[in-house]
A and B are shown apart, each in its own frame.
Chain A
Amino acid sequence: MNPFDIKAALLAKHAQHVVLIHFPIGLFIAGVVFDFLAQSTKRLALAEAAYYNLLGAAISAVPVVATGLLAWQFQLDGQKLKGILLMHLVLGCTSMILIWIAWGLHVRSRRRPQENLPVFRLGLETLAVAIVGLTGHLGGFLSGINGPS
């Protein structure tokens, strides 16, 4: 298969979700790391980096969830899920909500410069990283990353 064949890439069954998922995971974890560093060093540049990484994570999470739901509806005919697939779906949706809440807290803070970012966001972001990691682990398990090449 030609790796630059756009049509083949777009029509690849279920492949888009697996490709796109790397963006929100990477951007969100980077955003949280920058946020922790910004909190401890009080450096504005790190806070900015955190904001834009979280923004990227929030935006890129949308097509990831959308392609996951489409794969469920079309590849699996929307049948009732159970087991690992159900856990992956629930945790994936929870991850997106938490990513959007974390990003929303940063947006709110930027719109109200007189208010500091709430410290509880760090706990929320840590929880979100854990859930994102667990979702990704299950996704990797489902995708057969441990299977034969």
Chain B
Amino acid sequence: MRRSVFIAILTVMAAMGLGGVVAEHKSFMASAREKPASAAEVKIDNFVFGPAAITVSVGTTVTWTNHDDIPHTVASTAKVFKSKVLDTDEKFSYTFTKAGEYPYFCSIHPKMTGKVVVQ
């Protein structure tokens, strides 16, 4: 009798422990999912995208900021994204949801080019 009670208590404790581990795991996974996507910045200065090439992971939001006195745009060569004309200190953001290479340029100054590599 005492032995069976002991086994029952042990079983309940094991179940509670397992439940705790599962709950902790679920909580960890949920927090991992809720973790905000990473962000990256590209500066537009002196007619140059800096850095010219940037490598980010899927889900990353890249923000371009125009620090020039001249208006610029950020236009994907493959027409994936295109900003409006960015005056001084204006920003444009785009979230990359698919892996691949995204070359882009400035519509006003086509020799200004850059590339985002999404892995």
Task: List residues of chain A with CB under 8 Å of any chain B CB.
Answer: 12-15, 75-77, 79, 81-85, 141-144, 147-148
Contact = CB atoms under 8 A, between A and B. Distances in A.
Size bracket, chain B contacts: 10 to 19
B65 interface: no
Given A14-B107, A144-B47, A147-B47, 14 more contacts: A13-B105, A14-B108, A75-B108, A76-B85, A76-B107, A76-B108, A81-B85, A82-B85, A83-B71, A85-B85, A85-B108, A142-B108, A144-B112, A147-B70
The 4 closest A-B pairs by CB, nearest first: A147-B47, A75-B107, A13-B110, A144-B47
- Majority SS of interface residues in chain A? loop
- Majority SS of interface residues in chain B? loop
A14 B70 CA distance: 16
Given A13-B107, A14-B110, A82 B70 contact: no
Interface in B72-95: 73, 82, 84-85, 87
A142 B84 contact: no
Contacts of B56: none
Contacts of B82: 77
Interface in B11-47: 46-47
A83 B73 CA distance: 14
Given A79-B84, A79-B85, A142-B70, A147 B109 contact: yes
B46 A148 contact: yes
Contacts of A15: 110
B16 to A, nearest CB: 62
A81 B109 CA distance: 16
Nearest to B87: A83
A84 B71 contact: yes
Contacts of B46: 147-148
A14 B46 CA distance: 20
Contacts of B70: 84, 141-142, 144, 147
Nearest to B109: A144
